């Protein structure tokens, strides 16, 4: 049989997802192996609103377990006439056997026991609640007046062994066969007929639950658009991974901004794009930054031009900030920013950055002498040391670290 277990929740932080899915798979494998319940394969899937576990080819019952238990020595277990002593009788009783079932081997008595297989339904009924409570998160939440904790409030549970609902309850939410589609495009209530139809049923409701397929589609869409613009993407695997867990139905799009912003340093443009807005910058064949970006919408291409305009408007505001800070910061030479270092704590017990700079100046003089620096080079070293930390007082570093 196939087992489906879906935990539906409010949007889970994208950075948490890979670790959570790994934990869920590992924990399920451990539980099934400990229960001696054979299975063919196990996989976990995840989107911002759900964690899903699918176990295929689950056996009807766990394997029968044969065990051999070593008891006391035969000289203690039996008297001179060969009669069982209290030691043998107690050992047999503890293993649920008659004393006549004990065997003697190598001077010791042994008890051989067999444990009958347990139905898969009973095993997974006990296992599924443990999967929920067994997951660890960087930060957990509890909601209402409940003591239950999870990464985000749990809103629905789906637990199916083929088409049979497995009873599970967590934080007053009871399991069933009803899930939810895309928050805006899919149905609020979707009945899952059986575990095998889960992925396809969600796809019909604008949810690509398979994160690997979703990642591959996002990558293809991004590269197709960049190729159509005769441009290259400033690629970032970590950014792709984050975007992958921010969407359930990805649609990539291209936006643009005024060329006047290209007078800013590339880093001042790329940082707002990638770190603030999760956009991919584009460059031309010579590696020069273009006034364009790629992003991924969590939805279809309906009214995509409206989404594009909204993203362009947000980026424009970010770039205006960058332009403002860059121009304002350059009005004041770095050497005039030394006083600001007294307001920035370096480390408790080690003073502020002005104190650190003083220590670096003393160290620099010692190193300069030991290395035999020429007087001109020593002056450059001292100047560089005086300026080394002053950029930390600028708005550019503060806002666009």
C-beta of residue 54 within 8 angstroms of C-beta of residue 195: yes
Q: How confident is the model at residue 99 (pLDDT cuts 50, 70, 90)?
A: confident
pLDDT band, very low/low/confident/very high, at 331 (cuts 50, 70, 90): very high
Distance of CA 304 to the CA centre of its chain: 29
Q: In the 3-class helix/strand/coil scheme, how is the chain assigned residue by residue?
A: CCEEEEEEECCCCHHHHHHHHHHHHHHHHHHHHHCCCCCCEEEEEEECCEEEEEEECCCCECCCEEEEEEEEEHHHHECCCCCECHHHHHHHHHCCCCHHHCEEECCEEEEEEEECCCEHHHHHHHHHHHHHHCCCCCCCECCCCCCCCECCCEEEEEEEECCEECCCEECCEEEECEECCCCCCCCCCEECCCHHHHHHHHHCCCCCCCHHHHHHHHHHHHHHHHHHCCCEECCCHHHHHHHHCCCCCEEEEEEECCHHHHHCCHHHHHHHHHHHCCCEEEECCCCCEEEEEEEEEECCCCCHHHHHHHHHHHHHHHHHHHHHHHHHHCCCCHHHHHHHHHHCECCCCCCEHHHHHHHHHHHHHHHHHHCCCCHHHHHHHHHHHHHCCHHHHCHHHHHCC
How far is residue 366's CA from residue 377's CA, in Å, rounded to a whole number? 13
In contact, 231 and 225? CB cutoff 8 Å: no
Determine the pLDDT at residue 250: 98
> Shortest CA distance to 45 belongs to which of 73, 82, 6?
6
pLDDT at 64 over 90: no
pLDDT level of residue 106 (50, 70, 90 thresholds): confident
Rounded to an integer, the average pLDDT of 71-95 is 89
Please count the residues of the chain.
Answer: 401
CA distances from 280 to 149, 208, 219, 298, 313 (A): 35, 22, 11, 16, 16
Question: Which pLDDT value is given to residue 116?
Answer: 82
Nearest to 145 by CA among 172, 163, 167: 172
60 pLDDT tier (thresholds 50, 70, 90): very high
Residue 112 predicted with pLDDT over 90: no
> 401: pLDDT confidence band, cut at 50, 70 and 90?
confident
pLDDT of residue 101: 86
pLDDT at position 129: 97
CA-based nearest residue to 229, from 277, 307, 293: 293
Give dist(CA 229, CA 255) in Å, integer: 11
Cβ atoms of residues 166 and 121 within 8 Å: yes
Domain spans of the chain, in order of start:
3-61+120-203, 65-115, 211-329, 341-399
Is the pLDDT higher at 127 or at 347?
127
pLDDT at res. 47: 98
pLDDT value at position 228? 97
Res. 399: pLDDT tops 90: no
Look at 84-98, 225-239, 292-306, 330-344 and tell me which has the smallest mean pLDDT: 84-98
The encoded tokens of residue 226 equal 């960049």
Judge contact between 143 and 125, C-beta under 8 A. no
Chain centroid to CA 205: how far?
24
Angle, helices 237-244/211-228, rounded to nearest 10 degrees: 120
pLDDT grade for 65, boundaries at 50, 70 and 90:
confident
pLDDT in tens, 259-308: 999 999 999 999 999 999 999 999 999 999 999 999 999 999 999 999 99
Across 337-366, average pLDDT: 94
Residue partners of 70: CB distance under 8 A and separation at least 6: 108, 110
For residue 12, pLDDT beyond 90: yes
Average pLDDT over every residue of 168-192 = 96
List, for residues 115-136, the tens digit of each pLDDT value.
Answer: 788 999 999 999 999 999 999 9
pLDDT at 362 over 90: yes
Tokens read off for 222: 């991004």
Average of per-residue pLDDT values in the chain: 95
Give this prediction's pTM. 0.84
Alpha-carbon span 84 to 98, nearest angstrom: 11
């Amino acid at each position: 049989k196939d087992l489906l277990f879906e935990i539906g929740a409010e949007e889970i932080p994208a950075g948490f997802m890979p670790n959570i899915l790994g934990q869920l798979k590992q924990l399920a494998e451990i539980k099934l192996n400990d229960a001696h319940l054979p299975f063919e394969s196990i996989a976990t899937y995840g989107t911002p609103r759900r964690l899903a576990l699918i176990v295929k080819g689950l056996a009807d019952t766990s394997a029968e377990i044969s065990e051999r238990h070593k008891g006391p020595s035969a000289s203690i277990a039996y008297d001179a006439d060969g009669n069982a002593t209290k030691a043998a009788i107690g050992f047999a009783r503890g293993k649920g056997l008659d004393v006549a079932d004990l065997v003697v081997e190598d001077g010791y008595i042994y008890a051989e026991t067999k444990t009958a297989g347990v139905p898969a339904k009973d095993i997974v009924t006990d296992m599924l609640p443990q999967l929920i409570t067994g997951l660890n998160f960087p930060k957990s939440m509890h909601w209402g007046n409940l003591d239950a904790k999870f990464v985000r409030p749990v809103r629905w549970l789906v637990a199916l062994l083929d088409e049979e609902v497995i009873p599970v309850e967590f934080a007053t939410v009871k399991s069933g066969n009803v899930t939810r589609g895309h928050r805006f495009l899919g149905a609020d209530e979707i009945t899952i007929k059986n575990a095998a139809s889960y992925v396809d049923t969600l796809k019909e409701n604008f949810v690509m639950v398979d994160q690997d397929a979703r990642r591959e589609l996002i990558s293809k869409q991004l590269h197709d658009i960049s190729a159509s613009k005769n441009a290259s993407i400033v690629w970032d695997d970590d950014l792709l991974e984050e975007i992958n867990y921010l969407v359930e139905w990805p649609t990539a799009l291209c936006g643009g901004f005024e060329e006047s912003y290209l007078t800013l340093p590339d880093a001042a443009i790329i940082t707002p794009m990638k770190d603030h807005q999760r956009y991919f910058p584009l460059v031309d064949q010579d590696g020069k930054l273009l006034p364009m970006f790629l992003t991924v919408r969590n939805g279809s291409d309906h009214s995509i031009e409206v989404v594009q305009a909204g993203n362009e408007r947000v980026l424009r505001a970010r770039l205006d900030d960058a332009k403002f800070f860059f121009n304002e910061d350059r009005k004041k030479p770095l050497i005039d920013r030394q006083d600001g270092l007294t307001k920035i704590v370096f480390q408790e017990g080690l003073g502020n950055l002005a104190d650190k700079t003083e220590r670096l100046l003393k160290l620099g003089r010692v190193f300069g002498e030991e290395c035999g620096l020429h007087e001109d080079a020593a002056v450059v070293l001292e100047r560089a040391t005086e300026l080394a930390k002053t950029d930390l007082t600028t708005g550019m570093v503060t806002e666009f670290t």
